[in-house]
Amino acid sequence: QHPNICPVFDVGQWNDFHYLTMSFIDGKTLAELLRSARSLPRPTAVAMVHKLALALQEAHDRRVIHRDLKPANIMVNHRGEPVVMDFGLARRASAEGDLLTQPGSVLGTPAYMAPEQVRGEVHQLGPGCDIYALGVILYELLTGRLPFEGKSLALLNMILHQAPDRPTSFRPDLEPGLEAICLKALA
């Protein structure tokens, strides 16, 4: 339970369909907000990412890795608070025999996937993949663009083999410390 994580009430299977039932969050997705605003004012972006980091820390403390963190899976409620949603690809961290995917499986949204996700290294997927995705979100909130853009294969290749452009190359007024945090999350 965390104010920035959507409560999950039930998980199950009906016939061949797996399901989650969650609380209804009245608001818009962060993706919708970004479509209209492109980037956010620095203080708003920092406060939002801080709250998301605390929510992810709570999940990680409970050994839950989200694995598909992206603006479309974050609701911003009527109070302007971000709420992490859609734990459909989540898995328990470091639990023997508790893997939901097989080695070599690639699950997630390419632009937000950490290199270990791109490589399909299931046993390497820990909190770092969520931290990477949060770094992508911070980059996007600050610059109005993704660190890597392109068609799927080219995008995945960039994630694996390139460093992103510095956020200050798109927003020169960013503080060096904030840029360092963003780049560290993407490292």
Interaxial angle between packed helices 127-143 and 42-61, expressed in degrees from 0 to 180 and rounded to the nearest 10 = 170
CA distance 110 to 174: 26
Return the half-sphere exposure (C-beta side, CA atoms, 13 A cut-off) of residue 180: 3
* Integer angstrom CA distances of residue 179 from 32, 42, 46, 131, 171: 24, 11, 11, 15, 10
CA distance 164 to 135: 11
Fill in the amino acid letter for 48: M
Cα-trace Rg, the chain? 16
Task: Say whether 86 is catalytic.
Answer: no
Most distant CA pair in the chain: distance in Å?
Answer: 54
Spatial CA neighbour of 22 closest among 34, 14, 11, 13: 11
Residue from 10, 16, 68, 86 carrying the catalytic annotation: 68
Q: Which residues are catalytic?
A: 68
